[in-house]
Amino acid sequence: MIRIAQIINTRGLKGECKLKLFTDQADIRFQKGNHLYLKDHQKLTVKNYSTYKGFGYVLFDEITFIEQAEKLKGQELFLPKEELTELEEDEFYYHELEGCHVLNQAGEDTGVVTAILETGANLVLRVKNEKQEYLLPFVDAFVKEVDPDQKRIVIEEQEGLR
């Protein structure tokens, strides 16, 4: 299961949920009739979806009162892996990058991707090893190869990177 959003609050009296989104395909994921799942595998059916000021707002068929929605605060919404759409070449889902070992051009393991940050201009990978943590811009100048199946990213390490 792939995490796509977290319910962070409610809006209105009809059980609408305010979402922090972890997907850039929200319009696809939250189409009317789509099924999403809570961690306990409870299925929720999308009734209506909208966005406002960077947040998603969703109504589910199964949630009709604010009291029901309030119980969901803090819970995450998931999508089965098999429902993911195919990406273009050189595009990756976040879950494919998280946990990858980052190797420099000499083959030295410089750490593991622990988080992905969205900066607006480009993605930045948070890479951590036993001694330190550093930020790696996910751009062609640094990233030379990504192999999500082998969980490795090869970079051209430049002075001052870490």
Q: Cα(102)–Cα(95) distance, rounded to whole angstroms?
A: 15
Q: What is the pTM of this model?
A: 0.67
**What is the average pLDDT score of the chain?**
89
Q: How far is CA 18 from CA 23, 52, 118, 146, in A?
A: 15, 10, 20, 34
What are the tens digits of pLDDT across the range 74-105?
999 999 887 777 777 778 888 889 999 999 98
Give me the mean pLDDT over the 101-126 stretch: 88
Query: HSE on the CB side for 122, CA within 13 Å?
Result: 12
pLDDT at 70: 95
Q: Cα(146)–Cα(45) distance, rounded to whole angstroms?
A: 35
Is the pLDDT at 56 greater than 80? The verdict is: yes
- Which domains does the chain possess? 2-82 (2.40.30.60), 94-155 (2.30.30.240)
Is the pLDDT at 160 greater than 70? The verdict is: no
Q: Cα(100)–Cα(113) distance, rounded to whole angstroms?
A: 5
Task: Report the run of H or E that residue 140 belongs to, with start and end.
Answer: none
Cβ partners under 8 Å of residue 129, min gap 6: 109, 110, 111, 112
Lowest-pLDDT choice from 58-62, 82-86, 90-94, 139-143: 82-86
